[in-house]
Each structure stands twice: as C-alpha cells, then as structure tokens.
Amino acid sequence: MLEFLSKSKYISGLQCPTLLWTQINEPEEIPEPDIITQYIFDQGHVVGEYAKRLFPGGIDIPHDDFMENVDTTTRLLAERKPLFEAGILSGKIYSRLDILNPNNKDEWDIIEIKSSTSVKDVHIDDVSFQKYCCEQAGLKIRTCKLGHINRQYIKSAEIDPTGLFILEDISAQVEEINKGIEERVLNLLEVISNTTCPEVSIGKHCFAPYECSLREKCWGFLPENSIFDLRGGKTKQFSLYERGIISISDIPNDVPLSREQQIQRECVITGTTHVEKEEIRLFLDMLKYPLYYLDFETMGPAIPIYDGTRPYQTIPFQFSLHVVENDGAEPVHHSFLADGIDDPRPQLLHELQRLLGSEGSIIAYNSGFEEGVLKELVEAFPEYAYWLEGILTRMVDLLLPFSNFLYYHASQKDTASLKKVLPAITGRGYEELGIGDGMDASIAYERIIYSDATQEEIASVRADLLKYCKLDTEGMIWIVERLRHLCQ
C-alpha cells in the first residue's frame, strides 16, 4: 500500500509509533472523534477561514482530492500569490499548509493557523515538518509564523482579523527543532511500512500532546479500581505501574500515600464508603435558609459573538435555580435559557437579581466557577457591582465535602465532579438525558443558535438543556439531604 507521511501523521508518530502504525494500517481501529474533538476541529476550521482574510487576493486550493490538491498547488506556485491549503508532496512526505505566502523574488513564508491562544511545542513540530517537506520539494522558506488567537481582542461590529490574530515568528524554534528531522521522518516511514504493529507500553505519552484516541484499547487491560484512579497525579501512578502494581488494592503498605490516597485504598479494599460526620456537620451548619441552589451553563467561542466580548470569554446563556425557603419546604424551580438572538447577559443578570433575594446561602457545585462568571459579568455591567458584593458573601461550595474527601465512594474514582458524586451518594445519575455534561450543553447551544438547525432540532435541544441544568441544581438538593441523613 502506498502511504504518505502527512504532518498530522508525523505528529501522531512522534507521540507514539503504535498510534501512527494503526492510523495507517488499521484505520478502522481508530474511533470516530467524539463530540468535543469534532467541535474543536470545526472551531479550527472557522478560525482558519477568518485567518485567510489577513491575506487578500489569496487563492483557496481545493483539498478534497489529494492529487488534485497537489497538482493545483504545483501549478499555482508560479503565480506568486498567497495560497491557502497548498498541498506539497516530496517523495513519501506530504504537507498541507494553511497559508503559504510569497516573499521577495522566490521565497515563501509558512503561516500555520491555530485556534489556541499561544504557541505550543506541538505547533513547532507541526511547522517544522511543513518546512522540511517544502524544502525537500525545492521551495525556499524565508520565515515560519504561527497565527494564534489574541485573547485581548475585543469585538466591535465586524470581526477584524488583524486584531483577532497574533502572528508570531517561530523561525528560530523551527530551525532548532529541525535538527534531526530527517532521521525522525525516516524512522516513521519505516514504522508505517512494517507489517506488524510496534509494541509500545502505556505511559505519559498517551496524554501528550493530545489524549490518544486509542486509550480505551491500549488501557483496556487495567482492572476496575486501577492505580490510575488514584488521586494525586500521574507521577505516582506510573511509578506504581513500573513496579508492576496495577490495582489500588495491591498497593503495599510500605508505599507512602497521601491522606486521600489512603482513603481510596481503604474504600476499595473494604468496599465501604468514607464519611467524616463531624466535618460534614460543620459544613452543613454553614447553610442558611432560604437555600438557593444555582448552576450556570456557559459557552466560550473562539470567535467572539457579541460586541464588547473577547475570544474564549465565558458567556453564560442559562441558569437553573432551586429555592428551598425553609427546612422541609418543597423546592421551587426557576430557570433561564437565552433565546439565542441577543447577548444573553443583561437579561440573565436581571433575572438573577430578581430571584436571588437578599439573604440565605447560594449553593453551587464548584462555586469558584459561578463566582468567576458573576465577576466577569459585573466587569461588563458595573451597575451590578454593589449587588454582586452581597451575593459573593452568600456563596457556599458544595464541592468541598467531596474534594476534601469528607465523603468518598470508590465509584467516584479520582474525581469529586458532580457527575460522579451524584450517582455515588444518591444512586441517581444523568444517563437518561440527551445532554450529559457542561461541554455537551455548550456545544449543543452554540449549534442551535449559530447553525441552520430546524425549529424541531432547536426545540429538542432547548428541552434537553432545560432538563440537564435542572438536574444539576435538583441533584445538589438531593446531595445535601443525603449528607444530612448520613450525619444523623
């Protein structure tokens, strides 16, 4: 089989030869991208389209057909115009370049566009491969640049690509990393041509520079409650793995463990739940009626949508609020979900101010997030600053009993997230819902407001969003009730 080493395959090969070999030789083993990965791809595509506006008069080269892309590029190089999606083939290496910009009489600049907000090591490897491929094909490369998003850019009317992007000259870093690239490329070409898959042990490389798409397959041999569920980072986990210990229950007594890790081991071995009643009671005593259970859903688009906002700025578009007036009272539910037409923030703030009252605890799960959202809102709408001061003094974080391991059940693994804690402590979860977490909610909302979704799709997604966000605050009520019960 004739196969080329492309820049994405080169990056895969640097991460792990097994991944590269599988992509080429057994592509059916590579899972379809999940919803978040697909969203990141799509976002990158949109960002790339804006970047093309930095080079007026550029030519967009069709790239659906590999050979057509290469042949058209070869023909257009002579025109000395900016080329978008140029395909350069040299022997068995192939690279498609976001932007190839002519300079001087016969030189070119490579401009790679990323939706990140800074230059990362993997970008240098990426561009280094592009430069190597171009030079092998006989092109003279003058500079290499990385165009990334400028986080400080503030939208005003139309998007201005010259403000949205920062073009960083990375020529020196590329030059440095290009030493030895020939050998790396030859090694990876050999990996591709092997008839058997190289055997590579799992390791930290499975997460960097990207979480590997073959994780489930390669990591599938691990038992339930493996040492990779231990709280406290990968260094400890891999040091145990290298000693041949793969199950939490097999960790010998002489291995120093943190308090949290000891609790995990105890719960796994005994099958019990860890509960520190006195400490939980102290936490519950902080809650003052009326209780307001609050949760936001937000989005953070790379390309700002509303005037006055920045790239990736957190924009709340929904909240759910359950109010419990006093002990034993039925919770009353309120919700807000923006219509998707205008900036949701003014109406959201107005509704919150109307509903949150002037006394009583405001309970959120990982309340630092809600507090951060509120503070950012007040920066944009300073007339709410005085109100916010009072709100912040009333906030209570329901995450604390779990992040501090006052309560721990082995099914939580190494996390205290609401999605794990709710089923662990109440037996109820999110399985029945069309939207399963905050990222799903954000992607679903962006899809219905910025794509040509049908009325039916919009209605269905809105219903899912309302159910999902409601469960977040209702779940918190159940958790508090359960904690109270445990402390009796």
Q: Which of 47, 97, 206, 416 binds ligand SF4 (CB under 6 A)?
A: 206
- Window contacting ligand SF4 (CB under 6 A); options: 15-23, 149-157, 360-368, 438-446: 15-23
Scan residues 433-452 and list those touching ligand SF4 (CB under 6 A).
Answer: none
214 part of the interface to ligand SF4, by CB under 6 A: yes
- Window contacting ligand SF4 (CB under 6 A); options: 164-172, 198-206, 348-356, 406-414: 198-206
* Distance in angstroms (rounded) separating the CA atoms of residues 242 and 244: 5
Burial 329-363 (b: 16+ CB within 10 A, else e): eeeeebbbbbeeeebbbeebbeebeebbeeebbbb
Which is closer to ligand SF4, CB of 212 or CB of 425?
A: 212
Ramachandran sector of residue 449 (left: φ over 0; alpha: ψ -120 to 50; beta: rest): alpha
Ramachandran sector of residue 111 (left: φ over 0; alpha: ψ -120 to 50; beta: rest): beta
11 part of the interface to ligand SF4, by CB under 6 A: no
Q: How far is the CB of 10 from ligand SF4 (least distance, A)?
A: 15
- Residue 84 pairs with which residues in a beta bridge? 60, 99
- Window contacting ligand SF4 (CB under 6 A); options: 83-91, 213-221, 255-263, 285-293: 213-221
- Window contacting ligand SF4 (CB under 6 A); options: 10-18, 80-88, 373-381, 445-453: 10-18
**423 burial type by CB count under 10 A (0-12 exposed, 13-18 middle, 19+ buried):** middle
x-or-dash pattern for ligand SF4, window 341-370, by CB under 6 A? ------------------------------
Scan residues 143-172 and list those touching ligand SF4 (CB under 6 A).
Answer: none
Q: Which of 97, 212, 396, 476 binds ligand SF4 (CB under 6 A)?
A: 212
Q: How far is the CB of 112 from ligand SF4 (least distance, A)?
A: 23
130 part of the interface to ligand SF4, by CB under 6 A: no
Q: How many residues bind ligand SF4 (CB under 6 A)?
A: 12
18 part of the interface to ligand SF4, by CB under 6 A: yes
- Give long-range contacts, CB 8 A cutoff, 24+ apart: 150-156: 150/117, 150/311, 151/117, 151/310, 151/311, 151/312, 152/310, 153/304, 153/310, 153/311, 154/304, 154/308, 154/309, 154/310, 155/304, 155/305, 155/306, 155/307, 155/308, 155/309, 155/310, 156/307, 156/308
The count of residues in the chain is 488
Which is closer to ligand SF4, CB of 213 or CB of 320?
A: 213
Interior angle at CA 151, CA 148 and CA 129, nearest 5:
15
Which is closer to ligand SF4, CB of 122 or CB of 305?
A: 122
Q: How far is the CB of 116 from ligand SF4 (least distance, A)?
A: 21
Q: How far is the CB of 202 from ligand SF4 (least distance, A)?
A: 5
- Window contacting ligand SF4 (CB under 6 A); options: 13-21, 221-229, 273-281, 287-295: 13-21
- First and final CA of the chain: distance in angstroms? 69
Q: How far is the CB of 193 from ligand SF4 (least distance, A)?
A: 18
- Window contacting ligand SF4 (CB under 6 A); options: 96-104, 207-215, 310-318, 439-447: 207-215
Please state, in angstroms and as integers, the Cα–Cα distance from residue 441 to each residue in 34, 54, 76, 103, 437, following that order.
14, 33, 44, 45, 6
CB atoms inside a 10 Å sphere around CB 25 = 17
* Distance in angstroms (rounded) separating the CA atoms of residues 404 and 408: 9
Q: Which of 202, 363, 422, 425 binds ligand SF4 (CB under 6 A)?
A: 202
Q: How far is the CB of 420 from ligand SF4 (least distance, A)?
A: 23
Q: Which of 5, 16, 374, 444 binds ligand SF4 (CB under 6 A)?
A: 16
Q: How many helices (H) does the chain have, and how many strands (E)?
A: 19, 13
Q: Which of 76, 189, 218, 380 binds ligand SF4 (CB under 6 A)?
A: 218
205 part of the interface to ligand SF4, by CB under 6 A: yes
* Distance in angstroms (rounded) separating the CA atoms of residues 273 and 424: 10
DSSP E strand boundaries for 282-387: 291-299, 315-324, 332-337, 362-364
* Distance in angstroms (rounded) separating the CA atoms of residues 111 and 210: 22
Q: How far is the CB of 211 from ligand SF4 (least distance, A)?
A: 9
Q: How far is the CB of 216 from ligand SF4 (least distance, A)?
A: 8
Which is closer to ligand SF4, CB of 121 or CB of 339?
A: 121
- Window contacting ligand SF4 (CB under 6 A); options: 83-91, 168-176, 180-188, 214-222: 214-222
Q: How far is the CB of 21 from ligand SF4 (least distance, A)?
A: 9
Alpha helical stretches, state H, 314-454:
345-355, 367-380, 385-394, 400-403, 418-426, 438-450
Q: Do the beta carbons of residue 301 and residue 432 sit within 8 Å?
A: no
Q: Which two tokens stand for residue 222?
A: 């691990």
Q: How far is the CB of 8 from ligand SF4 (least distance, A)?
A: 15
20 part of the interface to ligand SF4, by CB under 6 A: no
Q: Which of 45, 151, 215, 259 binds ligand SF4 (CB under 6 A)?
A: 215
What does the binding site for ligand SF4 look like in residue numbers (CB under 6 A)? 15-16, 18-19, 200, 202, 205-206, 212, 214-215, 218
